[in-house]
Amino acid sequence: MQRLMAIPGVALCLLFLFTGCSGSGSSFFPVQKNNPPQDTVQTFAGFYSDGTKNIPCLWTGTTRTDLPVPTGTVGAEAFSPIVAVNGTIYAAGTYDDGNNSHACYWTGTTRTDLTMPAGATDALALAIAVDNGTVYTAGSYTDDSGTYPCYWVGTVPHTGFNTAGFDDAYADAIAVSGGAVYTAGYYYDSAKHVDVACYWTDTALTTLGDDTNTSDATGIAVSNGVVYTSGRYNNGSNSVPCYWTGTTVTPLPISSGTTDGEAEAITVSGGVVYTAGINYNNGQVVPCYWTGNVRTDLAGDGTHNAFAFALIVSDGTVYTGGYYYNAAPGPGSYAIPCYWKGTTRTDLAGSGAHDAEIINGWWEVD
């Protein structure tokens, strides 16, 4: 695996929502105030490659819609989770003008650029929430001294996160509840060479991992005032998928013979915690989701690496989203975006011979 922008996770994660969701009250993702009916149309955010650059897009059902970026953009991505409010889709994203990365979000197909924090040279928007008509996005920015987490209210950046005095830090997921903004991510301790999982309430830090082994928090949900985060921790030899209830960790089971796994997304429905992620089975990446601590494996083409990094629960049915590879790494191998309803996979339109992915985080899988 190769980390491009130091975003946690082994691979690309995603979340998806459904068009037609109501945006009343605290309408943030991934917690669902009202689960949508199963026959509504799924919408995903991501990108496809035309062979020279990445193009941000939405998939509604299996129909792809490109998202606008400025002339001269050399690459861009739209990130899930997306938010649906009164039939309008909101998605966060990033585009590269050839010199700098810029954070933005789209309302339908209308792009809104986010203000660069003071002194920043690059910014990423990786997650989005909408609460009482206000758009919130979360991500990170880079200046001459390092990389730092931030969130935007509308287009205004909020910085100054507590990062425990350590080095680079990142916010990768967002939820809004009770007037507070919750973001999940990690900070990096260069002295000990470990990432430390955490979440922030507004800018106040809650540490989840320890400073001995690497840990990451990649998804966040708030239910009945309790904060849930998904992620992984290293037990000294392996990466263990897990979720935290507050600061209490729950490890999740992986396949027999598997050495590593990660939980990349989380939601709570009917008092049950659901997570989605991956586990490695004899060298193959296998997508899965967990209902509580019960794992359900999913299939790509049955032979090559596949990934599931998001989910939603609707009327008792679990939907996960991800992508799979059509071949082993090498010439002719590319990613195919998809989602699973239960364990039934539906492929989405890509660009034919190049990667197309539904994503949350800048990761490249070797």
Give domain limits for the chain. Answer: 2-364
What is the per-residue pLDDT for 156? 98
- Cα 135 from Cα 288, distance rounded (Å): 31
Give the pairing of strands 335-341 and 344-347.
antiparallel
57-103 residue pLDDT tens = 998 888 899 999 999 999 999 987 788 888 899 999 999 999 999 99
What is the per-residue pLDDT for 281? 80
Positive/negative CA dihedral, 130, 168, 308, 270 = negative
Helix (H, G, I), strand (E, B) or coil at 60: strand
- Cα 228 from Cα 249, distance rounded (Å): 10
Q: Please name every residue paired with 344 in a beta bridge, in sequence order, or none if there are none.
A: 341
What is the per-residue pLDDT for 106? 98
With b meaning 16 or more CB within 10 Å and e meaning fewer, what string describes 198-211? bbbeebebbbbbee
Instruction: Please name the residue that has the structure tokens 């938010």.
Output: 83
- Cα 224 from Cα 40, distance rounded (Å): 26
Which two tokens mark 335?
């990613």
- CB-based contacts of 22, cutoff 8 Å, min separation 6: 33, 34, 85, 86
Phi, psi of 176 (to 5 degrees): -125, 130
CATH of 2-364, picked from 3.30.420.40, 2.120.10.70, 1.10.3720.10, 3.40.50.1000, is 2.120.10.70
Amino acid at site 26: S
Instruction: Please name the residue that has the structure tokens 């040279």.
Output: 121
Helix (H, G, I), strand (E, B) or coil at 353: coil
pLDDT in tens, the chain (366 residues): 222 332 323 333 333 332 223 222 222 223 222 233 333 456 788 889 998 999 999 988 888 999 999 999 999 999 877 888 888 999 999 999 999 999 999 999 999 999 999 999 999 999 999 999 999 999 999 999 999 999 999 999 999 999 988 889 999 999 999 999 999 999 998 888 999 999 999 999 999 998 889 999 999 999 999 999 999 999 988 899 999 999 999 999 998 777 799 999 999 999 999 999 999 887 889 999 999 999 999 988 888 999 987 777 888 889 888 899 988 888 888 898 888 899 999 998 777 778 888 776 543 322
What is the per-residue pLDDT for 361? 53
Instruction: Please name the residue that has the structure tokens 């149309």.
Output: 41
- CB-based contacts of 109, cutoff 8 Å, min separation 6: 65, 67, 68
- Cα 136 from Cα 170, distance rounded (Å): 16
pTM to 2 decimal places: 0.87
- Cα 260 from Cα 283, distance rounded (Å): 10
Instruction: Please name the residue that has the structure tokens 């809104």.
Output: 112
Positive/negative CA dihedral, 9, 310, 69, 64 = positive
What is the per-residue pLDDT for 41? 58
Residue 312 DSSP one-character state: E
- CB-based contacts of 303, cutoff 8 Å, min separation 6: none
